[in-house]
Structure 1
């Protein structure tokens, strides 16, 4: 294996670890609640603190990678993620577990913020689509392993091992990363402390408010938090305009392809990434499946996406991102539309086939869109742009989660919706009402995806060459 292939393998490994952790925790929540003697509203923060932390930190850590070295920050991220995983597994209480997940998320933020930049550093623009296709394999394989291992480890070994499994993988990745990933570019610049404080404060307020809405519903306090966070972006913009080395250089948004691609990434996350969450609620609460069996029905979509992603990524290298990415969003909209017409007796093969349509859509969208973003980013701020991409995607995931649980639970009590997701509540006579809420959630997904489709279609065709 040559050096570039080995670097790609390390990045794919980091992506796979993050994906495993995104799905493996969900299936273990009921067991963790019992073992740690806590309640759902406390332990749901095991998921939310991870989303909140990554949403807040990825932009800053991407820019830090530009300044101190992307490889250095990426490798440090592996170390912190591995240590955080060990702490999660050893957690004696729910509070300790939530705190350890925050540490784990700091490491994940370093990995996410700099992985796209490392790929861009080592591949010319006309070969990046294929490389990002391999990272998509890492995500989809990780999601599959998370579903399978989450059920197996929780059932036969114990929930702590869903975190311990990251430790040996992380140790191997750290050794390989320190040896192979070297910094090609660092910036001799001042750190934008004012920008970091303002942006971090804004994101914390917005994401915390949104997370609270998912947990307890809309309150005046949550609305004030979100509005305050949004208003903080105004002074942030003016502070950044005066900085010689800003955290976010707003000049990059004059590039139509880059701007449209970033917004498409955000809206795709907000519109589609809660699909699996809603489906598992349907399969468990209405159809009576166990969490493990419900998740297995979604595996074929991930498998197909893993197989197709390098091919679609290579296609985007040849013809640009606009057509493949737009087709991908269109396929996701079709899948969401089919899901919006689920009934109390829909055949399971119907759900499997629809998951394949959605998986095909993701295999078209992710490699093409990620490649378009990094191919149109200035080389000296690859890390910053990669961080912006991940920050927008992470906020989109959180918004998707909030929309899904809020709309799906309009027809039943919120605590019932949570218990349905955990597989600890059978709806019975409430099934018909809950199904209407699920339909509404998918229609909301379609509306958001339609905006992403337009942005993807009008981004323009970028020119790719060996020079950036």
Structure 2
């Protein structure tokens, strides 16, 4: 039995769940003090509430993308959504920090099952000359969700308690499930034989790499447990992933990671560009939030509201850039976005001063970042997926989202290390420790505000530098042929849903 496929309603249904899981990558940050008080724990333990989620989210993406090819995007997405929603309820009901961390790990696994399916559906249901509009919705969702998380988290924690940052996912998850069940078609599956050795190597390598990068700062890049060096964990992850790539290159059957994907110039370059974007977007928020709360004395909710111009401009302009991507050269749009992002971050750096009366002017670079954001997600994502064969849509989406997530983890770890280094340079190790205590107390002595502002201003130049690197990568995107068509672009499967292969 077949039914008419309506690509846009299907995509909107998937975006509801995609938005929810991305919000959860940032929503916990403003709730950490409340979680510490509510569960009677310390900061070392509460960090794992976020770390466990990111680890189990990033590590399996290569595998979960391929599951969508094998079993179909719809059933894999629904399974992940169910897991995520149930885990969200378990998070809110947790009576100990250990139970909360375990539930967050399950949440991350659910998110890993869902994320690649959204891009795979775009690749498989939209023709190449319409994917820019579809990717603009995907990109706006990704860009805005990372900004909404802290705002929503602050409102819920202040009004209802930390548990509600998780409970809110339950009704949203139920609505998302019903929408996906009714609106997302059952697309044709492609038989795959899973390479168990490749699955093991990729999962272990990704876990070691992400764990080492993410947790390095909490161990001062020294020893874990008094004997295991952090850099040894990162190095082991790199070695295992290198073994994984070598194993994939020698496989005679069907590899988990089709290395032929990277023969496509735009796919390879777009993966590099999205990793720099993930790095910059993640890294820029930490020094800004610290500056707003500790120097200007803003509450968590008010500091998050300073990012609203960014979110508004992204929402307003993403549909416009989505239409332009289908008719213009996406390279030029993405290049403009990268350069605007770098300019906005340098602008922030120049204006992060201890003068509390000048806070309103910081809304200007926030708005420019929103314009940049709208010019980045859709052009980069549509460039990556234009030439993907439909039977590899899930694998390509898994790779793309993995590189994005690795960039985000690198950005989080690098900016934390740089902030600490700049504070030590400004105050010395002992005074830098005092700023850490002031951070926990939510207050900073006036005598330290100038040095702290300088440290944040210097730190935000790191994501600005990554935006410049991203611009250098984007310059090499291959231009489209006349009429906006790309060579080798795969066409959508059909205007009707097809039965699942048995």
TM-score normalised by the shorter chain: which range applies?
over 0.9
1:114 matched to 2:117? The reply is yes
Residues 82-119 of structure 1: CA deviation (Å, up to 9, x unaligned): 11111111111111111111111111111112111111
> Aligned runs of 1:1-150 on 2, under 5 Å?
3-143=6-146, 145-150=148-153
- Aligned equivalent of 1:377: 388
3-state SS of paired residue (2:416): helix
- Aligned equivalent of 2:238: 230
Aligned residues: 468
1:277 matched to 2:295? The reply is no
Residues 288-312 of structure 1: CA deviation (Å, up to 9, x unaligned): 1111111111111111101110110
Q: Tell me, which stretches of 5 or more residues in structure 2 are unaligned? A: 224-228, 492-502
- Aligned equivalent of 1:367: 378
Which of 338, 353, 359 aligns to 1:329? It is: 338
Query: Could you tell me whether the CA contact under 8 Å between 1:257 and 1:373 is conserved in 2?
Result: yes
Describe the shift of the 1:71–1:29 C-alpha distance in structure 2 as closer, same or farther (beyond 3 A): same
CA–CA separation in structure 2 for the residues paired with 1:226 and 1:401:
15
- Aligned equivalent of 2:478: 460
CA–CA separation in structure 1 for the residues paired with 2:437 and 2:379:
38
- Aligned equivalent of 2:349: 340
CA–CA separation in structure 2 for the residues paired with 1:182 and 1:417:
54
Question: What's the CA shift for 1:262?
Answer: 0.7
CA–CA separation in structure 2 for the residues paired with 1:166 and 1:295:
20
RMSD: 2.0
3-state SS of paired residue (1:461): coil
Query: Could you tell me whether the CA contact under 8 Å between 1:140 and 1:303 is conserved in 2?
Result: no
Query: Could you tell me whether the CA contact under 8 Å between 2:337 and 2:372 is conserved in 1?
Result: yes
Moved over 4 A (4+): 412-423
- Aligned equivalent of 2:468: 450
Q: Which has the larger radius of gyration?
A: 2
**Structure 1 length normalisation: TM-score?**
0.95
- Aligned equivalent of 2:404: 393
Q: Which stretch shifts more, 361-370 or 66-75?
A: 66-75
CA–CA separation in structure 2 for the residues paired with 1:246 and 1:147:
39
Describe the shift of the 1:422–1:19 C-alpha distance in structure 2 as closer, same or farther (beyond 3 A): farther
Q: Tell me, which stretches of 5 or more residues in structure 1 are unaligned? A: none
Describe the shift of the 1:423–1:336 C-alpha distance in structure 2 as closer, same or farther (beyond 3 A): farther
CA–CA separation in structure 2 for the residues paired with 1:362 and 1:215:
30
- Aligned equivalent of 2:169: 166
- Aligned equivalent of 2:258: 249
CA–CA separation in structure 2 for the residues paired with 1:61 and 1:420:
42
3-state SS of paired residue (1:163): helix
**Structure 2 length normalisation: TM-score?**
0.89
CA–CA separation in structure 2 for the residues paired with 1:89 and 1:386:
31
3-state SS of paired residue (1:340): helix
